Amino acid sequence: MRLKLLIILIFILFFLGPHAGATRAEESPPKPRPLGSDLPAFLARAPRQETPDSLGDAAATRESTGTVTLRQALALALMQNPELRAFSWEVRAREAATLQAGLLHNPTIGADLQDLGVSASPDSVPQPQGTLQLSQIIELGGKRTKRREAVALSRDLAWWDYETKRIELFTQVTQAFVDLLRGQQQQELTEETVRLAEETARVVSERVRAGEVSPIEEIRANVALASAGIERDRAGKELEAARKQLAATWGSAIPQFEKAEGILDAISPIPSLTQLAERLSQNSDLARWATEIAQRRAAVDLEQSRAVPDLTLMGGVRRYESTGDNVFIIGLSLPLPLFNRNQGGIQEARDRLEKGEEERRAAEMRVATALSEAYRALSTAHIEATSLKEKVLPGAAQAFEAVNEGYRLGKFGLLDVLDAQRTLFGSRAQHLRALADYHQAVAEVERLIGEPLDVTGGRP
Q: CA gyration radius for the chain? A: 37
Q: Which of 202-216, 305-319, 382-396 has the lowest mean pLDDT?
A: 202-216
Q: Say if residues 35 and 170 touch (Cβ distance below 8 Å).
A: yes
Please report which residue ranges of 249-325 form alpha helices under DSSP H. 273-277, 284-305
When mean pLDDT is compared over 170-179, 331-340, 450-459, the highest value belongs to: 170-179
Average pLDDT value for residue range 224-239: 92
Please state, in angstroms and rounded to a whole number, the distance separating the CA atoms of residues 203 and 63. 46
What is the number of other CB atoms lying within 10 angstroms of the CB of residue 320?
14
Long-range contacts of 85-88 (CB under 8 A, 24+ apart): 85/42, 85/44, 87/158, 87/161, 87/162, 87/165, 88/42, 88/43, 88/44, 88/162
Q: Say if residues 167 and 216 touch (Cβ distance below 8 Å).
A: no
pLDDT > 70: what percent of the chain?
86
Span 320-361, pLDDT tens digits: 777 778 888 888 999 999 999 999 999 999 999 999 999 999
By DSSP bridging, strand 259-260 and strand 108-114 are unpaired
In this predicted structure, the answer to whether residue 60 has a pLDDT above a threshold of 50 is: no
**Higher pLDDT residue, 37 or 4?**
37
Binned at pLDDT 50, 70 and 90, residue 26 comes out as very low
The pLDDT assigned to 118 comes to 55
Q: Which of 143-157, 357-371, 413-427 has the lowest mean pLDDT?
A: 413-427
Q: Look at residues 215, 203, 430, 433 and name the one whose alpha carbon lies nearest to residue 195.
A: 203
Torsional sign, CA 74, 248, 54, 161: negative
The pLDDT assigned to 12 comes to 54
Q: Which of 75-84, 159-168, 400-409, 450-459 has the lowest mean pLDDT?
A: 450-459
Q: Say if residues 161 and 92 touch (Cβ distance below 8 Å).
A: no
Q: Look at residues 188, 219, 248 and name the one whose alpha carbon lies nearest to residue 63.
A: 248
Average pLDDT value for residue range 91-114: 90
Binned at pLDDT 50, 70 and 90, residue 161 comes out as very high
The pLDDT assigned to 119 comes to 54
Please state, in angstroms and rounded to a whole number, the distance separating the CA atoms of residues 162 and 332. 46
The pLDDT assigned to 457 comes to 52
Helix, strand or coil, per DSSP, at residue 126: coil
The pLDDT assigned to 49 comes to 55
Q: Say if residues 331 and 315 touch (Cβ distance below 8 Å).
A: yes
The pLDDT assigned to 272 comes to 92
Domains and CATH numbers, the chain: 2-115+127-449 (1.20.1600.10)
When mean pLDDT is compared over 40-54, 288-302, 397-411, the highest value belongs to: 288-302
Binned at pLDDT 50, 70 and 90, residue 216 comes out as confident
Q: Which of 132-146, 150-164, 194-208 has the lowest mean pLDDT?
A: 194-208
Q: Say if residues 220 and 205 touch (Cβ distance below 8 Å).
A: no
Q: Say if residues 440 and 175 touch (Cβ distance below 8 Å).
A: yes
Q: Say if residues 306 and 345 touch (Cβ distance below 8 Å).
A: yes
Q: Say if residues 197 and 225 touch (Cβ distance below 8 Å).
A: yes
Q: Read off the pTM.
A: 0.84
The pLDDT assigned to 418 comes to 82
Please state, in angstroms and rounded to a whole number, the distance separating the CA atoms of residues 20 and 145. 5
**Higher pLDDT residue, 17 or 412?**
412
Binned at pLDDT 50, 70 and 90, residue 299 comes out as very high
Average pLDDT value for residue range 14-24: 45
Q: Look at residues 445, 301, 287 and name the one whose alpha carbon lies nearest to residue 360.
A: 287
The pLDDT assigned to 113 comes to 79
Q: What angle do CA 15, 19, 24 make, to 5 degrees?
A: 160
**How far separated are the first and last CA of the chain, in Å rounded?**
80
What is each CA distance from 194 to 228, 241, 433, in whole angstroms?
A: 5, 22, 20
**Higher pLDDT residue, 142 or 27?**
142
The pLDDT assigned to 137 comes to 92
Binned at pLDDT 50, 70 and 90, residue 117 comes out as low
Please state, in angstroms and rounded to a whole number, the distance separating the CA atoms of residues 268 and 382. 9
